[in-house]
Amino acid sequence: MAEEGCQVLCIDSDPEKVASSKGFATNSVQADATDEESLRAIGIREIDVAIVSLGQNMEAAVMVTLLLKEMGVKEIIAKAVTPLHGRILQKIGADRLVFPERDMGRRVAESLVSPNILEHLELSKGCSVVELVTPDLFAGKSIRELRVRSRYGVTIVAIRKRNDIGERTIMNPGPDEVIDRGDILVMIGHDPDLKKLKDK
């Protein structure tokens, strides 16, 4: 967030973490985020988005999320440890949930099962964007020849091409764009349709 030019306020009870955040944060405060008076003193009502990430401390995450909601914070993103924890956080006001351990576990498992998948981003339930190393049967053919949309039900939204000079990305490639061996295809579609290409 800091690298994107946003003002970042970091709050933690651990002085070492507060000190380490001073290199990137606009402001760093040592405080107990589960204490309502501390949050009020910091001026938490003025922030646009709060990110609640308290490790494995589920109870503290619930308390902080509830306090932030009651204090009128516009958007709350919370790290959830388990599905039940996530449901509780949503019920008390979290607008968005993040499951880092679960999501990374899935990515690692997928990379072992389908090594040609470089990235997988779930857009909604059953629909994703994937980065796929060009399958051998695609190499040397145009998008028109491959009929990817009609044959597989997915859309190629970008192609990353690499050569000796470097890398370039072709956004929204046209039907006559030829796919070369080693290209990275960025594709969007329903998960069952994307799965057919993972195994090619």
* Distance between CA atoms of residues 10 and 8, nearest Å: 6
**Chain length of the chain:** 200
Helix (H) or strand (E) holding 42: helix 36-42
- Full pLDDT tens readout for the chain, 200 residues: 888 888 999 999 999 999 999 889 999 999 999 999 999 999 998 899 999 998 778 889 999 999 999 999 999 999 998 889 989 999 999 999 988 877 767 666 665 555 555 566 667 778 888 888 888 889 999 999 999 889 889 999 999 998 767 788 899 999 999 999 889 899 898 988 887 776 66
- Are 140 and 90 members of one domain? no
- Are 35 and 111 members of one domain? no
78: domain CATH number? 3.40.50.720
Query: In the chain, which ranges are E strands?
Result: 9-12, 27-30, 49-52, 75-79, 96-98, 117-124, 127-133, 141-142, 155-162, 167-171, 178-179, 184-190
Number of other residues whose CB lies within 10 A of the CB of residue 67: 22
> pTM for the complete prediction?
0.60
Domain that holds residue 157: 102-198
- Are 108 and 192 members of one domain? yes
Q: Is residue 20 part of a domain?
A: no
- Are 41 and 80 members of one domain? yes
Domain boundary among 83, 98, 113: 98
- Are 131 and 57 members of one domain? no
Domains in the chain: how many in total? Answer: 2
Q: Is residue 106 part of a domain?
A: yes
- Are 165 and 135 members of one domain? yes
Q: Is residue 3 part of a domain?
A: no
* Distance between CA atoms of residues 14 and 124, nearest Å: 36
pLDDT at residue 71 in the model:
93
Q: Is residue 137 part of a domain?
A: yes
